[in-house]
A = this chain, B = another copy of it.
Amino acid sequence: MIVNCVAYRDGERLADLMEEEISDYLEKPDCFVWVALCDATAQELELMKKEFHLHELAVEDARHGHQRPKIEEYGESLFVVMHLLEQVKGELRLGEMNVFVGHNYVLSVRSHSQRHFVAVRERCEREPHLLRHGSGFVLYALMDAVVDRYFPLMDQLESELEEIEEQIFSKNAARSNIERLYELKRKVMLLKHAVAPLMEASGKLFGNRGPEVCARGREYFRDVHDHLSRINASIDTIRDTIGTAIQVNLSMVAIEESEVNKKLAAWAGIFAVVTAFVGIWGMNFKSMPELQWEYGYPLALAVIGVTSLVMYRRFRHAGWL
């Protein structure tokens, strides 16, 4: 589906185009065309391929989807793949943003994503002094918008981790902690896969030998790269912390179990003594004088009670109870 198809000159909106008009405007000097597709069909991609002379391999990648984030140069044009991550009902859904950029065109293809990028076009049109830089600036604006959407996601993952951390030393939470940590790790890996390859690829956009298209605005691409570095560092910390948290959780299970074991051992000990005593006085020997005493029974109970109490206190003191 074609969302938008506009020609720009000198940072100003020139005209909304029909698909057939694209090639006319591509030939005009100082003019560039910015087309936005959404969940594009094979036909639409084929059409765009012809209009913009896109490379077959790049178009094929866009058609297939499921690419890693990357930035590829085909001659003087760029093909950029970015991941879109959207939280839908507690699940992270993976969409894709493919951008084809040449010196006089930008073609963005959004897939499997419900949040549009109209705001990017609006921002660009609000800043004509920057849009004047041409298609490179549009690429920056798109990348910046995609990357900016990673931040709230990362904040959310961080606060999920903090929630788990608050539970990690409390009792009886080991099972839910480990389930949540595992689920969190899965999400973090998704974000990592979106961020790390893009960070690496974007590092080439602002060096001295970066592509021509990005030449006028290296600081902007460095800024995008810097944002990605920041997210990436945070992700690495979260991953590292999840690893430690899993270990700590296991330690807590072991510690709790050893406490239960001590309790069990202490009570077992007390009752073993009680059982020994009552067993002894339950024996059928003919001559057991204490059985005949008048206060034998209460005395026996007293002995049993006192012994138990003494043991209880000792276990308590030793921290077993």
Residue of B nearest to A196 (CB): B233
A254-289 vs B, Cβ < 8 Å mask (1 yes, 0 no): 111110111111011101111110111111111110
B278 touches A280 (CB 8 A): yes
A-B contacts, 27 listed (Cβ < 8 Å): A57-B219, A68-B229, A72-B222, A168-B182, A175-B252, A178-B251, A178-B255, A181-B248, A189-B241, A193-B237, A247-B247, A247-B250, A250-B254, A253-B258, A254-B254, A254-B257, A260-B261, A264-B264, A268-B272, A271-B272, A274-B279, A279-B282, A280-B301, A283-B291, A283-B300, A286-B292, A287-B296
Instruction: Indicate which residue in B57, B240, B247 contacts A189 across the interface (CB closer than 8 Å).
Output: B240
Q: In the bound complex, how far is the Cα of B197 from the Cα of A228, in angstroms?
A: 14
Q: In the bound complex, how far is the Cα of B175 from the Cα of A310, in angstroms?
A: 27
Q: What are the residues of chain B within 8 A of A178 when measuring CB–CB?
A: 169, 248, 251-252, 255
Q: What are the residues of chain B within 8 A of A174 when measuring CB–CB?
A: 251, 255, 258
B255 touches A251 (CB 8 A): no
Q: In the bound complex, how far is the Cα of B57 from the Cα of A292, in angstroms?
A: 95
* Contact A291 to B280, CB < 8 A, known contacts A247-B250, A254-B257: no
Indicate if A220 sits at the interface (CB-CB under 8 A).
yes
Q: What are the residues of chain B within 8 A of A260 when measuring CB–CB?
A: 258, 261-262, 265
Indicate if A153 sits at the interface (CB-CB under 8 A).
no
Interface magnitude class on chain A: 35 or more
Per DSSP, chain A at the interface is helix
Indicate if A49 sits at the interface (CB-CB under 8 A).
no
Q: What are the residues of chain B within 8 A of A264 when measuring CB–CB?
A: 261, 264-265, 268-269
B250 touches A257 (CB 8 A): no
Q: What are the residues of chain B within 8 A of A281 when measuring CB–CB?
A: 283-285
Q: In the bound complex, how far is the Cα of B269 from the Cα of A263, in angstroms?
A: 10
B253 touches A251 (CB 8 A): yes
Indicate if A91 sits at the interface (CB-CB under 8 A).
no
Q: What are the residues of chain B within 8 A of A233 when measuring CB–CB?
A: 68, 193, 197
| Shortest Cβ distance from residue A302 to the other chain B in the assembled complex, whole angstroms | 12
